[in-house]
Amino acid sequence: MQLDPRRQRHVPAALLAFAAAACGAPPEPDARDLSGLLSQAGALRGSFTPAPDPPATGDNSLAMQLALVDGAPLVGAALALEPWMPAHGHGTPTVPVVVELGAGSYRADRIHLTMPGHWEIGIRVEWGDTADVFILDYDAR
């Protein structure tokens, strides 16, 4: 007995089944709260406001309010930011620029997120002989 190809119209259905079998329902996204974060070594507290908010593909800025854990504003610190896409293992060619605004306020510009997805913004903070790091989770749209 020979199968008639003209009657194998279930083939497109098989292709769809192949696609459907490979997927699952997406869970609900988490909210990203960037206020009152503790640095990795526990020496600093920081509140962060991205612009645009939520972060988007393209050029982004970040307003930062930094303080020592005793509440004193952190002044005169040197900050270095690095956008990093952990799932893809790459950063960006553009180095963000940071300016100090005074009273513990800092602002970073030229945060270039080159594609949608999950990014980590690494912020290395140096003051005196001390250094600490914040890692912010961004979901760029």
Partner 1 sequence: MKSSARGRPVAAWVGAAASVALLVRAAPARAQACCTTTGSSEIGVVGRCHQGLLMAQASYEEALGSFDERGSYRSLEGSAARDATLTLAGGVRPFGPALQLYGALPLRVQQRALAGIPEATRAGAGDATAGARLMALEDRMAGIRLDEPTSLIPFLEPVVAVRLPSGRAPADSRTPSQADVTGEGAYALLGGVSIVKFLTLDESLSVTATYGHRFAHRAGAAASGSRRYEPGAELDAKLAFFDVVDLHWSWTAFATGRWTAAAASDGRPVPASETRRIRVGIGGARYLTYPTWQLTASVAADPPVSGLSQGIPFAGASLALGLRRSFPY
Q: What residues make contact with partner 1 under the rule CB under 8 A?
A: 1-5, 8, 11-12, 14-16, 18-19, 22-29, 56-60, 80-82, 84, 86-95, 112-118, 122, 124, 139, 141
Taking the complex as a whole, the smallest distance from the CB of residue 27 to partner 1 amounts, in Å, to 5
Residue listed under structure tokens 């950063």:
91
Alpha-carbon distance of 136 to 123, in angstroms, equals 8
**Residues 83, 92: contact at Cβ < 8 Å?**
yes
Alpha-carbon distance of 51 to 130, in angstroms, equals 28
Nearer to partner 1, 107 or 112 (CB): 112
Taking the complex as a whole, the smallest distance from the CB of residue 32 to partner 1 amounts, in Å, to 12
Sort strands 105-113 and 58-68 into parallel, antiparallel or unpaired. Answer: antiparallel
Nearer to partner 1, 54 or 103 (CB): 54
